[in-house]
């Protein structure tokens, strides 16, 4: 089998970190051939074409074909997996409404081009920020494609949260499970440790022995650390996180296509679960079963957790309203 994968913003930094791992089989496994379509805006074509030359030189056994284009109809032709990475960054003096409008102007037409050109079972993962609302706009513009096929990446936030917990607990990151992200991929996101386990034991017990006042530590240390990790990386590295964002994108798509053993996090369309208004693309605890994300239902939320979820969801509602007010939804 060959899977056709379209990557927008393929000439950018995250695109560059993604392409070689996809071609090496990290996303779909060692038996799945891939056909890559690198979709860029005209200014990004040179970088994407350069990456395509390097992909050739990688001599990847699974890589059937690479095409570089700035035409969305060509870029999404027959696409099974769309990774929407390219987005308009916030420029100097740009208000949030300007940012939402600029990105609505990108993700609306891309949603329409996906509906018109992609394979019938297309799955879309939005990485470009503001990812949740960009996914909402793309889904709303993709007539005939079920909105369940549009998702936003929050896996990097979850990976960061699990890594922070593992470090504090002195545990392997792989032994820390069930740390869902709720809400928006933004500073309001809520990384929830209330159901988390380390080697199968509740994390809260292990944490109490190390940090003492767990609620205080969560509120003032853990949550800000996870939410501001991007800024920390920029400060230390001198530029934004790239490889970890690409790696989380690979995790998200791999789990969506191949299934999960336990919970993870993804921005998926709400059908009203946990009181999240219907139609929003919000992060939830999810499992992937038979190629579909399922929201883990029935979890208890403390009053404090409930308030955190509500605050992040309120931001998503505001973003939706702002885009509606611009007549772009
Ligand atoms: P990056 O590849 O570094 O980032 C791309 C997008 O991913 C940004 O929106 C960025 O958001 C987002 N992102 C999500 N998670 C992270 C994370 N953890 N760390 C960093 N970024 C994250 O940007 P480049 O500028 O290098 O590349 C963008 C490419 O997209 C360019 O080649 C450009 O030509 C192209 N582009 C394509 C468009 C299209 O296809 N229509 C439209 C606009 C641009 P944030 O800005 O918040 O960091």
* pLDDT confidence tier of residue 67, bands split at 50, 70 and 90: very high
Peptide bond into 151 cis (omega under 30): no
List all residues 6 or more positions away from 180 whose beta carbon is below 8 Å from its beta carbon.
Answer: 158, 191, 192, 195, 263, 264, 265, 283, 284, 285, 286, 296
Cβ(140) – ligand 1 distance below 6 Å: no
CA-CA distance, 209 to 256, in Å (whole number)? 36
* pLDDT confidence tier of residue 180, bands split at 50, 70 and 90: very high
Helix then strand then coil, in percent of the chain rounded to 5, is 50, 20, 35
Site to probe by mutation for ligand 1, drawn from 6, 7, 14 as the one with most ligand atoms within 8 Å of Cβ, is 14
Strand-pair partners of 282? 268
Give the number of the atom of ligand 1 that is nearest the alpha carbon of residue 44.
34
Q: What is the pLDDT of residues 73-123, one digit of tens each?
A: 999 999 999 999 999 988 888 888 889 999 999 999 999 999 999 999 999
Average pLDDT over residues 242-266: 97
Per CATH, 2-152 and 155-320 having the same topology is answered: no
* pLDDT confidence tier of residue 158, bands split at 50, 70 and 90: very high
2-152 CATH fold: Rossmann fold (3.40.50)
Cβ(39) – ligand 1 distance below 6 Å: yes
Percentage of the chain exceeding pLDDT 90: 95
DSSP secondary structure, 71-123, as one string: -HHHHTTT-SEEEE---PPPPTT--HHHHHHHHHHHHHHHHHHHHHHS-TT-E
Going by C-alpha positions, the residue among 290, 292, 267 that lies closest to residue 280 is 267
Ligand 1 center to residue 14 CA distance, Å? Answer: 7
Question: Tell me, what's the pLDDT at 92?
Answer: 86
Question: Tell me, what's the pLDDT at 329?
Answer: 87
Ligand 1 center to residue 180 CA distance, Å? Answer: 24
* pLDDT confidence tier of residue 214, bands split at 50, 70 and 90: very high
Dihedral sign computed on CA atoms, order 296, 252, 186, 164 = positive
Cα maximum dimension of the chain:
57
Question: Tell me, what's the pLDDT at 328?
Answer: 85
Taking a C-beta distance cutoff of 8 angstroms, is the pair 204, 222 a contact? no
Question: Tell me, what's the pLDDT at 233?
Answer: 96
- The ranges assigned to domains in the chain are 2-152, 155-320
Going by C-alpha positions, the residue among 228, 321, 324, 227 that lies closest to residue 283 is 227
155-320 CATH fold: L-2-Hydroxyisocaproate Dehydrogenase; Chain A, domain 2 (3.90.110)
* pLDDT confidence tier of residue 37, bands split at 50, 70 and 90: very high
Phi/psi at 280 (5° precision): -70, 150
Strands 190-191 and 197-198: unpaired
Cβ(169) – ligand 1 distance below 6 Å: no
Strand-pair partners of 33? 2
Which residue minimizes the CA distance to atom 19 of ligand 1?
241
Question: Tell me, what's the pLDDT at 172?
Answer: 98
Give the number of the atom of ligand 1 that is nearest the alpha carbon of residue 110.
41
Ligand 1 center to residue 315 CA distance, Å? Answer: 21
* pLDDT confidence tier of residue 178, bands split at 50, 70 and 90: very high
Cβ(19) – ligand 1 distance below 6 Å: no
Cβ(44) – ligand 1 distance below 6 Å: yes
Cβ(125) – ligand 1 distance below 6 Å: no
């Amino acid at each position: 089998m060959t899977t056709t994968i379209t990557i927008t913003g393929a000439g950018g930094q995250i695109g560059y970190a993604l392409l070689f791992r996809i071609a090496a089989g990290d996303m779909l496994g060692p038996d799945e051939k891939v056909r890559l379509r690198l979709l860029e805006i005209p200014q990004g074509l040179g970088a994407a074409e350069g990456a395509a030359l390097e992909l050739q030189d990688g001599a990847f056994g699974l890589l059937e074909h690479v095409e570089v284009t700035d035409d969305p109809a060509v870029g999404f032709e027959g696409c099974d997996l769309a990774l929407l990475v390219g987005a308009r960054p916030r420029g100097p003096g740009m208000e949030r409404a300007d940012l939402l409008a600029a990105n609505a102007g990108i993700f609306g037409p891309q949603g329409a081009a996906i509906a018109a050109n992609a394979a019938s079972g297309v799955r879309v993962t939005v990485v470009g920020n503001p990812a949740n609302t960009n996914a909402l706009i793309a889904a709303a513009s993709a007539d005939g494609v079920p909105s369940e096929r549009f998702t936003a990446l929050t896996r990097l936030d979850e990976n960061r949260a699990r890594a922070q917990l593992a470090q504090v607990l002195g545990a392997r990151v792989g032994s820390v499970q069930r740390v869902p992200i709720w809400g928006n991929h933004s500073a309001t996101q809520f990384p929830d440790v209330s159901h988390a386990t380390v080697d199968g034991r509740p994390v809260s017990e292990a944490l109490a022995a190390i940090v003492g006042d767990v609620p205080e530590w969560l509120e003032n240390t853990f949550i800000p650390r996870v939410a501001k990790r991007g800024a920390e990386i920029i400060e230390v590295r001198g530029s934004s996180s790239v490889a970890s964002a690409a790696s989380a994108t690979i995790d998200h798509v791999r789990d969506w296509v191949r299934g999960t053993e336990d919970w993870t996090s993804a921005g998926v369309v709400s059908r009203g679960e946990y009181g999240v208004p219907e139609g929003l693309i919000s992060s939830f605890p999810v499992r992937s079963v038979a190629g579909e994300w399922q929201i883990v239902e029935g979890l208890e939320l403390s009053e404090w957790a409930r308030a955190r979820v509500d605050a992040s969801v309120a931001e998503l509602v505001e973003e939706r309203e702002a885009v509606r007010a611009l007549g772009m939804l």
